[in-house]
Amino acid sequence: MTDISHSQVDLSTGISMHVAEAGAGPAVVFCHGFPELWYSWRHQLPVVAEAGFRAIAPDMRGYGGTDAPPNAEDYTQERICADMVALLDALEIESAVFVGHDWGGAVVWNMAQHHPSRCNAVAGINTPAGRRPPINPLDAMKMDPGRFDYQLYFQDEGVAEAELGGDVRRTMTLMLRTSKPEDRLDVIGMTSGVRDRGGLLVGLPDDAERSIMLTEEDLNTFVSAFEQTGFRGGLNWYRNHGLNWEWGAAVDGRDITQPALMVTAGKDGVLLPSMTEGMEDWIPNLSRGHIEQCGHWTQQEEPEELNRILVDWLKSL
């Protein structure tokens, strides 16, 4: 199996970024979501490298070994995409394929629209690409929170930080779980009514067993990282809906013309497959993959199936 190497890269955006990579060839950049790390792509990097690509997975801004600036407005999509451009520059890569999951999915679709010359092709794992909405998404959430109530809970600085950071091992044990019956607890299915409950993990056990998708070493890797950094950096990504929406005006109505892949997961309780309906209308070169028996953490829950879909698509480019 191809070895994964690690480096610390100084970016022109003013932050130092921890980067894991494997292989040589055309570049594929993997962007993780919340609350994760480059390590979420541990099953993909060696396989994509062995398929003939240079697989690159940074700890995104605010996470792990990458710097975490102090202010919420340091985490706009504009700044995070600028990090990705700066990463390509630092690694002397002209353009890359971008693959993203969860918040990382938002990053890669934004790269395709805002930085098309640096993004050859784009793949969203669970995260759909959506047209710019008519109003600030935060205002829309306030009118009808539904399963996005957790994002409103995340808006008050310090509140979710205290809850999630109070017992990091419990937080990561409860959050990183599969959709399989053996894992029993479904935090992703409890994202509505969070503010009324008084917290995302309120009412869940203190002594849950770790998920079947994680080894003890896997869980320890996530726990030790977040014990060091806390959750503020990752939570700040949620605090820029308005600024992100304003930034989107510059490309409103612009189609994504690069080759694209959308992989949906049938058991994701937040990023529903139905949210991807209509993407073909403005992403004409869209391919699709679907994993029915899979929850939110697709690249860790069903790595072999995702790798098959991803490598087949990469080789077709």
Quick check: helix, strand or coil at residue 241? Answer: helix
In the set 39, 75, 150, 238, the catalytic residue is: 238
For residue 143, the surrounding DSSP H or E stretch is helix 137-143
For this structure, is 32 an active site residue?
no
Residue in 123, 92, 95, 93 with CA at minimum distance from that of residue 107:
123
The pair phi, psi for residue 38, each rounded to 5°, is: -50, -30
Q: In the structure encoding, which two tokens stand for residue 288, read together?
A: 């699709």
Respond yes or no on whether the N-terminal peptide bond of residue 35 is cis (omega within 30° of 0).
Answer: yes
Identity of the residue numbered 111: M
The pair phi, psi for residue 120, each rounded to 5°, is: -70, -40
CA distances in angstroms from 15 to 69, 108, 181, 213, listed in the order given? 8, 19, 41, 32
For this structure, is 238 an active site residue?
yes
161: which residues sit within 8 A by CB, 6+ positions away? 230, 231, 232, 235
For this structure, is 153 an active site residue?
no
Cα separation, 23 vs 51, whole angstroms: 9
In the set 67, 74, 83, 102, the catalytic residue is: 102
Q: Are 314 and 53 in contact (CB under 8 A)?
A: yes
Cα separation, 312 vs 224, whole angstroms: 34
In the set 18, 32, 101, 296, the catalytic residue is: 296
Residue in 22, 5, 27 with CA at minimum distance from that of residue 93:
27
The pair phi, psi for residue 286, each rounded to 5°, is: -90, 130
The pair phi, psi for residue 288, each rounded to 5°, is: -130, 150
Q: What is the DSSP letter of 206?
A: S
Q: How far is CA 309 from the centre of its chain?
A: 18
Q: Which of the residues are catalytic?
A: 102, 238, 296
